[in-house]
Amino acid sequence: MAQTDLYKVLGVDRKASSEDIKKAHRKLVRQYHPDRNPGDAKAEERFKEIQAAYDVLSDPDKRKQYDRGGFAGIGGRPGGAGTGPGGFGGFDAGGFGDILSNLFGGGTSGGRETRRGPSSTRGNDLEAEVTIGFDQAVDGAQIPLSVPTSERCATCHGTGARPGTAPKVCPRCNGRGLESQGQGLFSISQPCTRCNGAGTVIEDPCPTCQGNGAVRTVKRYRVNIPAGVREGSRVRLAGKGEAGRNGGPPGDLYVITHVQDSPVFKQKGENVEVEVPLTIPEAIRGAEVEVPTLHGRKTLRVPPGTKHGTVQRLRGEGPPHLDGRGRGDIHYRFVIDVPASLSDEQSEAVEKLSQVINGNPRAKLFAQAGEGRAS
Ligand SMILES: [Zn+2]
Ligand SMILES: [Zn+2]
């Protein structure tokens, strides 16, 4: 059973100065460090307790809180005895889990990977781009995707230290990851300049990753692009970004979709538009015309006297909405197809037509303009 009096863990008096605490801690670390006690689980457990106790007592704020309310004072020790590994399960106050996961290769110390302290960082988000066809954007698609990223170094299991060695507790900050500058009221804590806040330093770096703990790699995915994406849509793949450091969560992967233009369907917001040519007689007399839909054909009734540019909508026949609820529309824009040249026969027919449809549709322009000036 772990001792719950942090002062007893470090073997110091409740009134010990911060210098006394530092000294006691240093001595105990030397004695119980896993490097000195390979394979000794008891020493390892003791070492964890020492680090946890030091984490609290070396920080004046946490120490004050602890003095006031014991474990409850520092963010709550859940439920009393025996709840966490070594009785320290509630300690999230900073750095402890991270130091351990550094020292013991991460994840080996009883689910502490989820612990987050100042030195655990979320992995970076990644961005990748894919180009898909118009049909794939409408229907959704599985797209193979290669993403350059980093992953935990297999040689050192992410510690960054040469196999057989381990990162050492940082001598500058004693594992806190922070150092204070200034005095009294005006002291500022900032990430340790020696270890960059990790709390540990690597004296003998891993030859594979040069001490990074991570190596560059290319991850290959088959990405499900949802139906309804458009040019520039961002598809988020949670947790597929870069790996987190020191037990931090991974970042996300954002896939930006580029959609090839369709020669027929033009994207207009959440709808698509299709230009439908009509012959002059069809526009004049009306007609039933076949038009393409996203997945087949439909017949539209063109009313007599349809003007150039008239739009007919087919509701709900457009691309699906990205949220999965409903679809956009297809807008059919009628354009009157005017032949660039005429055969003799057509020329004759147009001549005849011009004799019977021969008013001056522009007359009213002048009439209305004249009225405007007169009034
Ligand atoms: Zn390595
Ligand atoms: Zn440091």
Please write the tens of the pLDDT for every residue from 89-124.
333 333 333 333 333 333 333 333 333 344 677 888
- CA 77 / ligand 2 centre spacing (Å): 27
Q: Which of the four pLDDT bands, split at 50, 70 and 90, describes residue 273?
A: very high
Indicate which ligand has the atom closest to the C-alpha of 208. 1
- CA 9 / ligand 1 centre spacing (Å): 34
Which residue is listed with tokens 């490097």? 35
Q: With 50 as the cut, is the pLDDT of residue 83 above it?
A: no
- CA 39 / ligand 1 centre spacing (Å): 22
Indicate which ligand has the atom closest to the C-alpha of 165. 1
- CA 234 / ligand 1 centre spacing (Å): 33
- CA 211 / ligand 2 centre spacing (Å): 16
Q: With 60 as the cut, is the pLDDT of residue 70 above it?
A: no
160 vs 86, 154, 198, 206, 212, CA distance in Å? 27, 10, 12, 5, 5
Q: With 80 as the cut, is the pLDDT of residue 304 above it?
A: yes
Q: Which of the four pLDDT bands, split at 50, 70 and 90, describes residue 276?
A: very high
Instruction: Go through 217-256 and write b for each residue having 16 or more CB atoms within 10 A of its CB, e for each that does not.
Output: eebebebebbbbbeeebebebeebbbbbbbbbbbbbbbbe
Range with the poorest average pLDDT among 10-19, 224-233, 340-349: 10-19
Q: What number of residues does the chain have? A: 375
Digit-coded pLDDT (tens) for 198-245 = 888 888 999 998 888 888 889 899 999 999 999 999 999 999 888 777
Q: Which of the four pLDDT bands, split at 50, 70 and 90, describes residue 371?
A: low
Contact 344, 324 (CB under 8 A): no
- CA 152 / ligand 1 centre spacing (Å): 8
Indicate which ligand has the atom closest to the C-alpha of 158. 1
Helices 18-32 and 41-57 sit at what angle, rounded to 10 degrees? Answer: 160
Tell me the three state secondary structure of residue 345: helix
Indicate which ligand has the atom closest to the C-alpha of 194. 2
Indicate which ligand has the atom closest to the C-alpha of 201. 2
Q: What percent of the chain has pLDDT over 70?
A: 82
Residue 93 or residue 160, greater confidence: 160
- CA 159 / ligand 1 centre spacing (Å): 7
Per-residue confidence (pLDDT) for residue 361, from 0 to 100: 86
Per-residue confidence (pLDDT) for residue 119, from 0 to 100: 61
Q: With 70 as the cut, is the pLDDT of residue 85 above it?
A: no
Instruction: Give the closest residue to 328 by CA, choosing from 269, 262, 276.
Output: 269
- CA 110 / ligand 2 centre spacing (Å): 25
Indicate which ligand has the atom closest to the C-alpha of 177. 2
